[in-house]
Amino acid sequence: MHDANLPDENLNKGSKIHPDVLKLGLASFLTDLGSEMIFSVFAVYFTMIAGASATLLWAIEGFADLLASSLNYFAGWLSDRSGKRKVFAIAGHGISALAKIILLFTSSIIGLSIFRIIERLGKSFRGPPRDAWLSSVANMGTRGYSFGVHKAMDKTGAILGPLIAYSLFSWLGEKESTYEILFMIALVPAFLGVVILSLVKDKPGVPIPQEKITQTWSFISLEFKRYLIVASIFSFAYFSFSFLLLRAYNIGFSIKDIVLLYVLFNISCVIASPLIGKLGDRLGRAYMILLGYLIYLFICLGFAFATTQWQIIVLFVFFGIFYGIDEAQSKAFVVDLELDRRGTAIGLFNFITGIIRLPASIIAGALWLIHPDNSFLFGAFLAFFALLAFLYLRPDHKKIEVK
């Protein structure tokens, strides 16, 4: 078994980023480009064109996220059990690409709901095996940087996708035929992503064929379990990104400007992710996790007390920095703690935190109805509590148990 404090098997194989990290990032960029082209207009299409209610949209989104969180754990365990990474990553990308074909044949509420659920399941199924694959080709000394670069390439799709959609609607007008053209265009990068991924050389793990999914908890490291406790506490501090957009609207931003705030958030994440990754490789991943909690605490307090537009702009920039830490460095840290069952650990991490974030958003919504500031103050309190829990449990340190 690997010790979280011992050198990784790739530690002494060079300090440069592995070319396969860029290839995996390119595949993610293309897939996200196609998805974000659709999702930037999906809510409007679902409610205005198909005629669904906003309540049904929320229900479908919540149900899709719930299913996706459950599949994360299974996908990671399946990948570790077989030792295969590439085949499951391709399957996940392929499911998301094939789901987009549904949009070419139906605009019904049922058809669109099926598309959203299947596409989300594809993203969930590919995540843990791909991240385990990514961690296998990345050196220990550049693991944080590798995850940061991958996240930056992935989020670049979230910048260009909405901009392509915006340009298309500006050129052709806001009509149903424009949506159909957009859906056809989105298929191209989605399937290109699958092709790129199929050309990358696999880096399989050591299979664990006898281990059942119900036995995993008994075998994963104590350090990872401690981090999972901290991450679970922090997940309750989460609220939907729509709360930030709504807060910006209440401060005085127009709908058009809010779209630009979303782009600004993604640009901030793209720029910060590799830099934060390099800093984590140099100083230690635990410091980046703590930095993320501190930034989130600052953001929550900022949104609670912000009164001017420039303050909101600054907060969106910082939220992009936080997102780069939370989405990339947390996974790199998970792999640091659990090398033997990388896919399972990432899947379990995504599963637990994803399940918690659903009631967390409901709690934030209830607090918002009382007063918007309450949602952010509650998030700040939990972020501070998670920070203290991390300092107390210290999952980055191996503790000797006395029996």
Q: How many CB atoms lie within 10 A of CB 174?
A: 11
User: Which H or E element spans position 113?
Assistant: helix 109-137
Mean pLDDT of 361-382: 88
pLDDT, greater one: 217 or 308: 308
Q: What are the pLDDT digits (tens) for 107-125?
A: 899 999 899 889 888 888 8
Q: What is the residue whose two structure tokens read 């780069």?
A: 324
**Lowest mean pLDDT segment, chosen from 61-65, 323-327, 333-337:** 61-65
Going by C-alpha positions, the residue among 370, 381, 367 that lies closest to residue 296 is: 381
User: Which H or E element spans position 262?
Assistant: helix 255-283
Of 71-85, 186-200, 218-232, where does the model show the most confidence? Answer: 186-200
Whether the predicted pLDDT of 6 surpasses 70: no
User: Which H or E element spans position 297?
Assistant: helix 285-305
Rounded to an integer, what distance in angstroms lies between the CA atom of residue 273 and that of residue 324? 5
Mean pLDDT of 155-180: 86
Cα–Cα–Cα angle for 320, 321, 325, nearest 5°? Answer: 115
pLDDT on residue 15: 57
Q: What are phi and psi of 44, to 5 degrees?
A: -65, -45
Rounded to an integer, what distance in angstroms lies between the CA atom of residue 269 and that of residue 264? 9
Whether the predicted pLDDT of 211 surpasses 70: no
User: Which H or E element spans position 31?
Assistant: helix 19-44
Mean pLDDT of 181-189: 94
pLDDT on residue 351: 87
Angle, helices 372-393/342-370, rounded to nearest 10 degrees: 150
Cβ contacts of 167 within 8 Å, gap of 6 or more: none
Radius of gyration over alpha carbons of the chain, in Å? 21
Cα–Cα–Cα angle for 145, 148, 154, nearest 5°? Answer: 145
Rounded to an integer, what distance in angstroms lies between the CA atom of residue 343 and that of residue 384? 29
Contact 143, 14 (CB under 8 A): no
Q: Quick one: how far is CA 349 from the chain centroid?
A: 12
Name the amino acid, one letter, at 19. Answer: P
Q: What is the mean pLDDT of the chain?
A: 85
Mean pLDDT of 11-36: 82
Contact 159, 35 (CB under 8 A): no
Rounded to an integer, what distance in angstroms lies between the CA atom of residue 309 and that of residue 307? 7
Give 319's pLDDT tier (boundaries 50, 70, 90).
very high
How buried is residue 42: exposed, middle or buried, by Cβ count under 10 Å (0-12/13-18/19+)?
buried
Q: What are the pLDDT digits (tens) for 34-51?
A: 988 888 778 778 878 888
Can you list the domains of the chain with their CATH numbers? 16-205 (1.20.1250.20), 216-392 (1.20.1250.20)
Q: Against a cut of 0.95, is the pTM above it?
A: no
Rounded to an integer, what distance in angstroms lies between the CA atom of residue 98 and that of residue 112? 13
